[in-house]
Structure formats: structure tokens, C-alpha cells
Chains A and B, each alone.
Chain A
Amino acid sequence: MTAVDATAGGSDPYRLGHDQESPTRQRTLGHADRGLVSKRIVTAFGFWIFLLSDIIMFSAFFAAYAVLVGETAGGPSGRELFNLNNVGIETAALLLSSFTVGLAGIGARAQSGSWFYGAMTATFILGAVFLSIELREFASMIARGAGPTRSAFLSAFFTLVGCHGLHITVGLLWLLTIMAQVLAKGYRADILRRILCFGLFWHALDIIWVGIFTVVYLMGVAL
């Protein structure tokens, strides 16, 4: 398709630089001078921006936790409550699930049913393991009188870790929905885009978990 041309350089009376025709400049400016990019890139980039905003939200909860970590109001502190064996299993489950979700992405792009469904199922199971251990931990803490209403430290703990758990829950729901969609409609382009976004989401949750288990659990016990 032809386009309406414009004059070159006629609108730059102040000569504000830019050697517009230089090849190196054209190349390093990425796509912008070539115009349109694929939907896959646009969608994934938009989701990437959303994930960064989510990480900033988590950092606000982290900041609150760090400020309130000493406010146990005479109640139990992290050292008395945290069971590092459970945390270890949770971490292993989530790390492995990050690996399997990567496999699922590869399987989807290769349109291989066994890779895709197998890896997604494994991801779901590992995520469910993580969630069940975390829920049991919360329940036992509440039963011992160390619930979120006991002290500011516990409020911050339950909120930070609980928010991450909520994201995992939403992720598992999303996972099932995607599997259902692939089953119903196959490896369509828009569904492949969603699988890419889901992978980004799941990896980001594991990155946040690294922060949580280091700052909340390991430092809570060691310091």
C-alpha cells in the first residue's frame, strides 16, 4: 500500500540535530521507525508493564512489613512461628512450577499436546501444593492465637504473604481456564498470547516469593 509522503527535513528550522537518515540510528531505534509491531509483542509488553505495577504494589506491602516487623505487641514473633521446613517445601514447589510453566510455553508454541497439558498439569499440582501448605500454616497460626488481629507484625505478615497467595490462587484459576480454552479452541494466536502472559505472571510470582522467603521467613528466623 502506498502512503502519503512528507517532505524530508523541511520542518526542522532550528536544526535540532538528528541525522535522521543514518542507518545506525534507524536500527537502534528498534521498531519505531518501521511502524507496526505484532500483536504478540504488544500484548506481552502491556502485560509486562502490568506486572511491574504489581511488583510495585508488593513493594508497598514489603515496606509496611519492614516497618512493622518488630511490633509484636507482646505476642509471638517470627522466630517463634515460622517453620522453615514448610517454607523449604513451598519454595521448591514454586521453583519447580516455574520450570514446568516454561515447558508449557514451549509445548504450546510447538503445539504439542503432551508437552503442553502435561506441563500445565504439573504446574497446577505444584502450585496447589504450595497453596495448601500456606493455608495450613495460616490456619495453625490463627488457631494458636497468632492471627492477623493479634499484632501489627502479624497483620503485615498475613497481608504480604496472603496477597502473594491470593495471586497464586488467581493464577491457578487462570491456568485452568487456559487449559479449558486450548481444549475447546486449540492453539489459536490469541490463546497463545495468553499462555505467554500466564508464563510471565507465574515467573513474576516466583520472583516475588524469593523476596518473601528471604526477607520474611529466613531473616525473621535468623535475626
Chain B
Amino acid sequence: MSHVGQTHDLHTSDTAPGEQRIPRAEITEQIKSYLIGLGLAVPLTVMSFLISGTTLVWGPSIPVALVVLAIAQMGVHLVFFLHITTGPDSVNNVMALAFGLLIVFLILTGSLWIMANLNRNMGFPKETMPMQVEPGAAARSPIVVRTVTANGVVHPAATTPLSAHVSGQIQAVDCAPKMQVKAGQSCAKIDPRPYQIAVDRTRADLAAAETRLDKDKADLARAKAAFESHEGEAKRQALSRKAIERSRKAFEKVQTQTERDETRAAELQAALHAAEVSLGSTNIVSPIDGTVVSRNVEMGQKVVADSAKPLFLIAAIPTLIQIDAIISAKDSGGVKLGDKATFTVDTLPDHSFSGTVTQIRPSPQTSEPITAIGVVISAPNPDLLLKPGMAATIRIGAE
């Protein structure tokens, strides 16, 4: 490209990105911009760290504050280090930057919005997927050739789902993953007020119905007495047939009314019972002793009765646990059913547990050629020290 004879007068052409418009000024002049940039960036950075690490700022606003500070820091970089200005000489640079930022914004917000919707509608992620295991740590190979090492994760036994049986808004959440719970312990509460109102109303209706019933009974007794006395008088032919008819009809009417009111009262009784059960169900309790494996509910969330998605998954603390481990195929020759295995878990590194190999099976991830074998180790857990989700480091084989 020929540029023979062109002058490079900075005042009549564009600025390159990153260039300052101070032609041939002293070094100290040019450093000023960088010093100002550094001087602004340092306190902004320090503020970010302080905000996240302490309780200076009200909790829910921390992400907003961090984002604002990050944007400020990026702005400082752009202006003082990259010298992106708004002058007419920098138009191309600014337009390019604006285009880039627009695309970044579209990708981030678009992806987050789309994925949030997709995850929610498609039941993603699934909590009950089996835990992924680390490939065998062959690097830590033991001195005794016959021992095979592997890593694994303690398996929960079957998990019990905890769902809401009534609809409403969650008022309190008291359980979190990895918490121990006892049977009957409350894990979440749905706002009971609508149900309380229903109970109260039903109770009031029942009371009114019972009052009516009492009145009916009194009326019935009276009508019955009247009828019987009229009947008696009829025998003595002291009363007209019409009068007997009238009192008999009155008796029957009261009888029917009483029956109806009795039914009504019984219904209300049942309804009251149901309303009380519903009210009781606003307290979501764990049916078993166990560990909370996962939680899928938040404060203020509106839940629907008996939806397919449980609010919590509780795993009973088993007295017999299983560990799924993967060992590399070349080590697997020495492993057979019934082999003893010893293992430790991260949180109790000094406690050695023991178990036996109860299953050898293909690894769930097969690829040609087969490089890994799955091994299941069962171990007793009488002291309930081993909890689901713990990572275990295992040694298999004769010592």
C-alpha cells in the first residue's frame, strides 16, 4: 500500500486505539494519565474486595454493587490506559467498542434468559443422577503391587422425596443440604393463613350447624311429642283426621330437616378435619431420620400441591453404605469379589473404615478401548459416621 509522501500530522487524522493525543510531550506528561488511572483503579478494586468479604453492604445488594464497581474499573481502564475518548478522531474505535459490547450483552443476557427457561421447563438439572466419580488416582500407586487405589463417593441409599401436599407461598425454609434431620422435624413452612382461615370458617360453620341441629332436635322432640299425643287423641276420636295429618306432616318435616342438618354437620365435621389436615400440611416435615441431600425451594416461592418436583430429598442415614469407585482396567486384574477394602473420608482422615468388594461391573463411561472398570464396595456404618456425599479414598487388596 503506497503511502509515499504522506504526512502523519496527528491533528488531522484518526487516533489509533491505545494512543494518546499528546504529540511529542514530555514523558511525565504522558505518565499522568496512567497514574490517574492507577489511582482510581486501586480504591475501586479494594472496595470490591471489601464489599464481598464483609457485611458493609446489605446482603442482597452485593451483586449489584460488585457489578457497578467492575464496570467502573473497566471504564477507568478504557479511558486512562487505552485512551478511548469521545472525540471525532476516535469515532471508529468507539463504534467498534460499542458494537463489541452490544454483542457481549446479547450473548450473556440472551444465554442466561434462554438457559434459565430451558432448565426450568426441562427439569434440569436432575438431582438424583448418580454421583460422578474421579478416575483412579494411579499416580498414588502403592508399594505393595497387589493393592489398588481408587476414589469414590459414599452412596445414599434410596432418597425420600419431600413434597408439598398443599399449595401456597413458602414462608420459611429451615433445612439445607447436608443438614441432619429427625423424623417429624419441620423443613419448610407454607404460609398457613389461608388454611387457618379455612379452618376457622369451617369450624364456625360447624358450630352454626350444630346449633341448628340442637334446635332441630328440640323441634323434633316437640313435634314427636305433639304427634304422639295427637295420635293418642285420634284413638280416642277426639281429633279430626286433618289435624292428625298436619301434625304428622310437621313431625316428618322436622325429621327430614334434622336428617339434613345431621348430614350437613357430618360433612362440616369432615371438612373441618380436612381443613385441619391441610393446615397441618403447611408444615412440611421430614418423615424419616436422615440427611437432606438436596433442596429445591426458596423463601417466598409459590409451590403447587403434589407437583412432580419434590421440595427436598432426604436420605436415610444408612447403617450399610455403598461406594461406587472406578479403577483403571490395568489395575483391575488383581481385584475380585470379596476382596477387602479400606478407606478414609475427607472429613475424618484419621479414621480408617473397612468394607468388601461386592460388585464389579463395566464403568458407565465406556469408550474403545475399555480403560476403566466400576467397582462397588459395601461397608457397615454402625456409628453413622459415614454420610451420603462424602468423598472416599479407597485401597483395595490384600495388605
* Partner-B contacts on A (CB < 8 A): 1, 27-28, 30-31, 34, 36-41, 43-45, 47-49, 52-53, 55-56, 59-60, 62-63, 66-67, 70-71, 73-75, 84, 88, 91-92, 95-96, 98-99, 102-103, 105-107, 110, 112, 115, 145, 147, 149-151, 196-197, 199-200, 203, 206-207, 210-211, 213-215, 218-219, 221-223
Q: Would you call A41 and B66 a contact (CB within 8 A)?
A: no
Q: Would you call B52 and A73 a contact (CB within 8 A)?
A: no
Closest 8 CB pairs of A and B: A44-B16, A52-B100, A218-B52, A222-B52, A48-B17, A63-B111, A214-B70, A102-B34
Task: Check: B381 CB closer than 8 A to any chain A CB.
Answer: no
| Residue among B1, B35, B82, B108 making CB contact with A59, cutoff 8 Å | B108
Chain A residues near B92 (CB-CB < 8 A): 30, 45
Q: Would you call B70 and A62 a contact (CB within 8 A)?
A: no
Q: Would you call A67 and B112 a contact (CB within 8 A)?
A: yes
Q: Would you call B97 and A112 a contact (CB within 8 A)?
A: no
Task: Check: B37 CB closer than 8 A to any chain A CB.
Answer: yes
| Residue among B14, B49, B74 making CB contact with A31, cutoff 8 Å | B14
Q: Would you call A115 and B27 a contact (CB within 8 A)?
A: yes
Q: Would you call A56 and B104 a contact (CB within 8 A)?
A: yes
Sample (30) of A-B pairs whose CB atoms are under 8 Å apart: A30-B92, A31-B14, A38-B3, A44-B17, A45-B92, A49-B96, A53-B100, A56-B107, A59-B103, A66-B108, A66-B112, A67-B111, A73-B129, A73-B131, A75-B391, A88-B49, A92-B45, A95-B41, A95-B45, A98-B77, A99-B34, A102-B31, A103-B31, A149-B134, A149-B135, A210-B77, A215-B70, A218-B66, A221-B53, A223-B62
A99-B38 in contact given A37-B14, A145-B391, A218-B52 (Cβ < 8 Å): yes
Q: Would you call B91 and A30 a contact (CB within 8 A)?
A: yes
| CA distance in complex: A112, B304 (Å) | 72
Q: Would you call A73 and B132 a contact (CB within 8 A)?
A: yes
Task: For residue B144, give the distance in angstroms from its CB to the closest CB of chain A.
Answer: 23
Chain B residues near A1 (CB-CB < 8 A): 5
Task: For residue A115, give the distance in angstroms from its CB to the closest CB of chain B.
Answer: 7
| Residue among A55, A63, A84 making CB contact with B53, cutoff 8 Å | A84
Task: For residue B292, give the distance in angstroms from its CB to the closest CB of chain A.
Answer: 13
| Residue among B37, B63, B67, B82 making CB contact with A99, cutoff 8 Å | B37
Chain A residues near B67 (CB-CB < 8 A): 214
A45-B132 in contact given A95-B38, A145-B151, A223-B62 (Cβ < 8 Å): no
| CA distance in complex: A41, B74 (Å) | 23
Q: Would you call B77 and A44 a contact (CB within 8 A)?
A: no
Chain B residues near A84 (CB-CB < 8 A): 49, 52-53
B275-318: CB near A (< 8 Å → 1, else 0) gives 00000000000000000000000000000000000000000000
Q: Would you call B17 and A45 a contact (CB within 8 A)?
A: yes
Pair count A-B, CB < 8 A: 180
Task: For residue A109, give the distance in angstroms from its CB to the closest CB of chain B.
Answer: 8
Q: Would you call B77 and A206 a contact (CB within 8 A)?
A: yes
Q: Would you call B70 and A210 a contact (CB within 8 A)?
A: yes
| CA distance in complex: A39, B13 (Å) | 12
| Residue among B38, B49, B74, B132 making CB contact with A207, cutoff 8 Å | B74
Q: Would you call A34 and B12 a contact (CB within 8 A)?
A: yes
A196-B19 in contact given A102-B81, A219-B52 (Cβ < 8 Å): yes
Chain B residues near A110 (CB-CB < 8 A): 27
B28-72: CB near A (< 8 Å → 1, else 0) gives 001101110110011001001101110000000011001101100
| CA distance in complex: A147, B53 (Å) | 25
Q: Would you call B19 and A91 a contact (CB within 8 A)?
A: no
Chain A residues near B3 (CB-CB < 8 A): 36, 38-39
| CA distance in complex: A103, B146 (Å) | 61
Task: Check: B8 CB closer than 8 A to any chain A CB.
Answer: yes
Other than A99-B38, A210-B70, give 10 A-B pairs with Cβ distance below 8 A: A36-B6, A40-B16, A48-B18, A84-B53, A92-B45, A150-B132, A197-B18, A200-B82, A210-B74, A214-B67
Chain A residues near B69 (CB-CB < 8 A): 214
Closest chain B residue to A98, Cβ basis: B81
Task: Check: B173 CB closer than 8 A to any chain A CB.
Answer: no
Closest chain B residue to A151, Cβ basis: B132
Task: Check: B333 CB closer than 8 A to any chain A CB.
Answer: no
Task: Check: B88 CB closer than 8 A to any chain A CB.
Answer: yes
Of A34, A52, A53, A199, chain B has the most CB atoms within 10 Å of the CB of A52
Closest chain B residue to A100, Cβ basis: B34
Task: Check: B380 CB closer than 8 A to any chain A CB.
Answer: no
Task: For residue A178, give the distance in angstroms from its CB to the closest CB of chain B.
Answer: 15
Closest chain A residue to B110, Cβ basis: A63
Chain A residues near B30 (CB-CB < 8 A): 106
| CA distance in complex: A38, B34 (Å) | 25
Closest chain B residue to A109, Cβ basis: B30
Q: Would you call A34 and B13 a contact (CB within 8 A)?
A: yes
Chain A residues near B97 (CB-CB < 8 A): 52
Q: Would you call B62 and A222 a contact (CB within 8 A)?
A: yes
Task: Check: B15 CB closer than 8 A to any chain A CB.
Answer: yes
Chain B residues near A103 (CB-CB < 8 A): 31, 34
Chain A residues near B16 (CB-CB < 8 A): 40-41, 43-45, 196
B:198-220 near A, CB below 8 Å: none
Chain A residues near B14 (CB-CB < 8 A): 30-31, 37, 41, 45
Task: For residue A172, give the distance in angstroms from its CB to the closest CB of chain B.
Answer: 19
| Residue among B66, B99, B132 making CB contact with A219, cutoff 8 Å | B66
| Residue among B18, B41, B42, B66 making CB contact with A200, cutoff 8 Å | B18
Chain A residues near B131 (CB-CB < 8 A): 73-74
Task: For residue A110, give the distance in angstroms from its CB to the closest CB of chain B.
Answer: 6
